[in-house]
Structure 1
Amino acid sequence: MFFTRMTWIAAFAVLVFGVLQILIGVGIGQGMIGPIEDVLSRYSSPVPIGTQIDQGVYKIIFAVALGTLAEISFAARRI
């Protein structure tokens, strides 16, 4: 039961970080945060904006898979 709950919490945390990474990438790319060159030099890692968005999507996919496994574990415990 402990590992099932920890898996659910980890899936939720990864989901939140993935969504934030996508929002930051889109915000930088659209220039909403400021001029792209200034923002990239101050706040971002040397990873291109498109790669940051892709990594965020991968995190969301991983979180959904991990959450699905946690839900299966919850259902198996009830039976």
Structure 2
Amino acid sequence: MSDYVIPDPEPKEIDEKLSIELRHLADNAVLKAKPQGDERCDNCLYYLENTAEISYCWHQKLRILVGGEWWCQWWEEIPE
């Protein structure tokens, strides 16, 4: 057996930078797990696969997986 001990993890400079960036994104995004009236992710222009329960939101400020029943302030109606 080796005597090597795995050191405790310590945040690096990049971790602190990413943490600040993600905090700003979270502060700017109003992403709710409940619909806002009739507005919900699965009937939004940016919801990639509107028949799926969970899909990718391709809005430039989010770009994450979201639930179909969710809502955010960037909701936009799908043009007819």
Q: Which has the higher strand share?
A: 2
Q: Which has the higher helix share?
A: 1
TM-score normalised by the chain length of structure 2: 0.29
TM-score normalised by the chain length of structure 1: 0.29
Question: Based on CA coordinates, which of the two structures has the bigger radius of gyration?
Answer: 2
Higher relative contact order (CA 8 A, sep 6+): 1
